[in-house]
Amino acid sequence: MEVINTVGRRKAAVARVYVKSGEGKITINKRDFTNYFPLEIFQFVVKQPLLVTEKEGTFDININLTGGGIKGQAEAARLGISRALCQIDAELRPILKKNGFLTRDARVVERKKPGQPGARKRFQFSKR
C-alpha cells in the first residue's frame, strides 16, 4: 500500500496526515503522540476514527501539525485520519459520517472590529 496523504483543519490548526500500512504507530511532529498530547482525552480524540472502524494497529500514521491550540490540533488530526481511512476503504465512510468525523467544523473566532473592545462587545453607552 502506498502512502495516503490528507489534510484536516479545525479553527486555526492544520494537520497534514500521512497513512501507510504498519503496526499502529502514531507520530506527531516527529514525536510519539502520547508525548505530544499528554492528556488522555486528546489521545482518545486522535484515535477515535481508528477505534470506531476497528482499524487500530493496522496503519502507521505520521502527522504534521501547525497552528491553533491543543484541542483544535487534536480535532484537525481526527478529521485528517478520517479522510485517509475513507480513501483507503470506501466502506468505512458511512461509519465515520454517522459519528461526525468527516464534517469540517467551520466555527472560527470572530475578528475584533475597530473602535470596539472585542468582536461583539461595545463600549458602555452614556446618554449624558
CATH of the domain at 81: 3.30.230.10
CB 87 within 8 A of CB 18: no
**DSSP symbol at 125:** P
What would the pLDDT profile of 106-121 be if each residue is shown by its tens digit? 999 999 999 999 999 9
Considering its fold, how many domains does the chain have in total? 1
Q: What angle do CA 94, 99, 105 make, to 5 degrees?
A: 110
What would the pLDDT profile of 52-102 be if each residue is shown by its tens digit? 999 999 999 999 999 999 999 999 999 999 999 999 999 999 999 999 999
Question: Does residue 29 lie in a domain region?
Answer: yes
- Residue 1 pLDDT > 90, yes or no? no
Question: Does residue 126 lie in a domain region?
Answer: no
Q: What angle do CA 35, 55, 84 make, to 5 degrees?
A: 80
Look at phi and psi of residue 29 and say left if phi exceeds 0, alpha if psi is from -120 to 50, else beta.
Answer: left
* Residue for grid cell 489521545: 43
- Please tell me the predicted confidence (pLDDT) of residue 63: 96
- Please tell me the predicted confidence (pLDDT) of residue 73: 96
pTM: 0.91
- Please tell me the predicted confidence (pLDDT) of residue 44: 96
- Please tell me the predicted confidence (pLDDT) of residue 67: 96
Question: Does residue 125 lie in a domain region?
Answer: no
How far lies 86's CA from each of 54, 93, 111, in Å? 14, 5, 34
- Please tell me the predicted confidence (pLDDT) of residue 103: 94
- Please tell me the predicted confidence (pLDDT) of residue 128: 87
Question: Does residue 43 lie in a domain region?
Answer: yes
Q: Give the range of the structural domain holding residue 25, as residue numbers without chain letter.
A: 4-98
Question: Does residue 78 lie in a domain region?
Answer: yes
Task: State the CB neighbour count (10 A cutoff) for residue 52.
Answer: 17
Question: Does residue 8 lie in a domain region?
Answer: yes
What would the pLDDT profile of 19-46 be if each residue is shown by its tens digit? 999 999 999 999 999 999 999 999 999 9
Question: Does residue 21 lie in a domain region?
Answer: yes
CB 76 within 8 A of CB 14: yes
Which of 16, 17, 25, 34 lies closest to 85, judged by CA?
A: 17
Question: Does residue 88 lie in a domain region?
Answer: yes
